[in-house]
Amino acid sequence: MSCRSLADRIDALLPQTQCTKCGYDGCRPYADAIADGSAPINRCPPGGDDGIAALSALLQTPALPLDLERGEPGPLLVARIDEAHCIGCTLCIQACPVDAIVGANKHMHTVLADWCTGCDLCVAPCPVDCIQMVPAGRAWTAEDAAISRQRHRSHLARAERLAADNARLMAPEAPAAASAPTPAAADAQSEDRKRSAIESALARARARRNPTQS
């Protein structure tokens, strides 16, 4: 059995919540690390003891207690945005690994509960603390995992395209062509300035609300 095919089989047993609690940037990198022997099988809180047992059976290795430093297992949670306080900064949208949050810049965002994996990666970046994790009221299924895997792949592919586009926009032009920035580059610079202004304004607002913490 090749390392790649083993990693595929391990990945198929992981819950595909893409929560990164295992210490890797998603379920597939964790599967690769288990396959090459650089990570143990007990770092996935969403998978819990059942996940560890499945990995143990596949790899024919002893089961290990769940590493609780990585998080506690529990029922599926989903993100909920307090829409009255959302400022439309888009930071949660950028953090979501499966594109379960929709909305536009400076407009209210909302979570597609059926898509949300409960990873909670959107909570920390929110500058106004308007996101909480609440019980989903249902279990995470194998079908959910398969769909989440594909959405995560699509998310990564789009991020790679955007990074490549930004790299091309920011690349220095040849001296002969050095003139006014292209409309796309100007838009990118404008967005950077707006983001910086928003972050500065939010920092000032937080400092005013919590003067003793400044």
Predicted local confidence at residue 3, as pLDDT: 56
- Looking only at Cα atoms, what is the longest distance across the chain? 65
Report which of 52, 46, 53 is spatially closest to residue 145, judged by C-alpha positions. 46
User: Are the beta carbons of 101 and 126 closer than 8 angstroms?
Assistant: no
Residue 94 has pLDDT above 70, yes or no: yes
Structure tokens belonging to residue 149 = 């895997």
Per-residue pLDDT band at 97 (split at 50, 70, 90)? very high
Per-residue pLDDT band at 214 (split at 50, 70, 90)? very low
Residue 211 has pLDDT above 90, yes or no: no
Report which of 71, 68, 9 is spatially closest to residue 34, judged by C-alpha positions. 9
Q: Specify the higher pLDDT residue, 6 or 173.
A: 6
Question: What number is the average pLDDT over the span 43-51?
Answer: 97
User: Roughly what angle, to the nearest 10 degrees, separates helices 183-209 and 142-170?
Assistant: 120
**pLDDT tens figures, 20-31:** 999 999 999 999
User: Roughly what angle, to the nearest 10 degrees, separates helices 27-35 and 3-13?
Assistant: 130
